[in-house]
Each structure stands twice: as C-alpha cells, then as structure tokens.
Amino acid sequence: MLLRIFIGEGDEFQGRPLYKAIVLRARELRLAGATVLRGRMGYGRSQQLHNATILRLSFDLPMILELVDTPEKIEAFLPELKQMMRTGLITTERAQIIVYQG
C-alpha cells in the first residue's frame, strides 16, 4: 500500500519539521520505505499559492511524503500520523511492488 501525505514545509511536530518527524517515526516502526519530495509550487484548502521563484522564495513550500508497506502496517500507522498533523491531506492507494531490492 502507498501512503501519501501532503503537508507544508513549515509544519512542525514537537519543535522539529513534521516531515522529518514522520519519516523518523516510520523508520522506528520499520515501515518498508519513505521518501520526501519538495514541491516547487502548490496550494491546498486555503487556496493560498506557495511557490519557489528566483525573486521570491516561499518558506512553506508543499511537501509530499510517500511511504510504502503492507496495508496492515500502514493502517496501524495512521492513528499516530493523524495525531502528528494539524493540517494536511493523507491518501492511500493500492500499490503493486515490482522490484524491492536492498
């Protein structure tokens, strides 16, 4: 299962960046993998545009976290994830693993 989390770069949890707190907690729980992507432009529920340009850099660019594991492990992580987030969007979708080497 693929867990996708949309947050802002400036979002925090217990004094540290939220994206970092989520990835570190997922690692502690031994989820199979996590990746953080930093968006160049986006908007969310507020319709406020966040973007990175040469003349003006936003300090709250969109962040997308993608985590992959079994449905059971993802479902078990969701309650904890919801407590960490004040705002944002969480989605899940079925994923077909083609290759997982390490």
The predicted-structure confidence for 40-60, as pLDDT tens digits, reads as follows 777 777 777 777 665 555 567
Q: Tell me the pLDDT tens digit for each residue of 4-43.
A: 999 999 999 999 999 999 999 999 999 999 999 998 777 7
Q: What is the pLDDT of residue 49?
A: 75
Q: What is the pLDDT of residue 66?
A: 98
* Total-model pTM: 0.86
Fold assignment, 2-93: Alpha-Beta Plaits (3.30.70)
Q: For 9-88, where are the E strands, in sequence order?
A: 12-13, 16-17, 33-38, 41-42, 50-51, 62-68
User: What's phi and psi for 22, nearest 5 deg?
Assistant: -65, -50
